[in-house]
Amino acid sequence: MKYLLAGLGNVGNEYDATRHNIGFDVADAFVIKHGGTFKVDRHVFHSEVKFKGRTFVVIKPTTYMNLSGKALKYWIDKEKIPLENVMVVCDDLALPLGTIRLRASGSAGGQNGLKNIELLLQSQNYPRLRFGIGNNYPKGQQVNYVLGKWKTDEIELVKLTILKSVDAVEAWSTTGIGNAMTMFNK
């Protein structure tokens, strides 16, 4: 069985360790846990790893967040992966830090990477993991907050939530989205 894990973020050192790049961080943790490495490929950093008899194609789009759909569509088509076997990981301002939400489908909810994916896939019917980054920013400072680095007192919780996200992706692939949602959407 083949799965695609897409961690959303932006390429470039200036975006490393920012809230908006948490999808990249989850993809990195998943690949490291399963002994893989990334290489540059068409529109993405790409890795392929095995987990419990499943092959995971793991991508981090190099198209920048707002054009994530281009990379995702290319790799779904290339690898012939059904949408129910695709998991997209992105940041979510509406969720408190330390919270993750798995969904089988749904709207973009204002997340520009998801908007572009929906536009190019012509569907909202793909699983996603939303990683809560909180919304502790002054009015008018949303962009600076999202593109900002984690605060020192947030880093430990971020690391733990990344590990929980990896566990959630594994559970989704072995037990299905419904069971994984029950386990992790608390």
Does pLDDT of 186 surpass 90? no
Residue-level pLDDT at 110:
87
Residue-level pLDDT at 141:
94
Q: Which domain, by its residues, includes 9? A: 2-184
Please count the residues of the chain: 186
State the catalytic residue, choosing from 20, 34, 43, 46.
20
Does pLDDT of 120 surpass 90? yes
Distance CA 136, CA 172 (A): 30
Residue-level pLDDT at 182:
98
With vertex at residue 130, the alpha carbon angle to CA 104 and CA 44, rounded to the nearest 5 degrees, is: 95
Q: Tell me the three state secondary structure of residue 86.
A: strand
What is the average pLDDT across 67-79?
Answer: 97
Interval 110-119: pLDDT, tens: 899 999 999 9
Query: What would the two tokens of residue 2 be?
Result: 């083949």
The CATH number linked to 168 is: 3.40.50.1470
DSSP string, 88-145: EEEEETTS-TT-EEEESS---TT-HHHHHHHHHHT---S-EEEEE------TT-HHHH
DSSP state of 67: G
Note the pTM of the prediction, 2 decimals. Answer: 0.97
Residue-level pLDDT at 8:
98
Does pLDDT of 109 surpass 90? no
Interval 138-158: pLDDT, tens: 999 999 999 999 999 999 999
Put residue 24 in one of left, alpha, beta given phi > 0 → left and psi -120 to 50 → alpha. Answer: alpha
Distance CA 110, CA 92 (A): 9
Strand order in the sheet with 100-103: 39-41, 44-51, 54-61, 2-7, 86-92, 128-132, 100-103
Q: Is 152 exposed, middle or buried (0-12, 13-18, 19+ CB in 10 A)?
A: exposed
Confidence of residue 72 (pLDDT cuts 50, 70, 90): very high
Domains contained in the chain, number? 1
What is the average pLDDT across 96-101?
Answer: 97
**Residue from 29, 43, 128 nearest 88 by CA:** 128
Q: Tell me the three state secondary structure of residue 59.
A: strand
Does pLDDT of 184 surpass 90? yes
Q: Would residue 34 show up in a list of annotated catalytic residues for this protein?
A: no
Interval 14-69: pLDDT, tens: 999 999 999 999 999 999 999 999 999 999 999 999 999 999 999 999 998 999 99
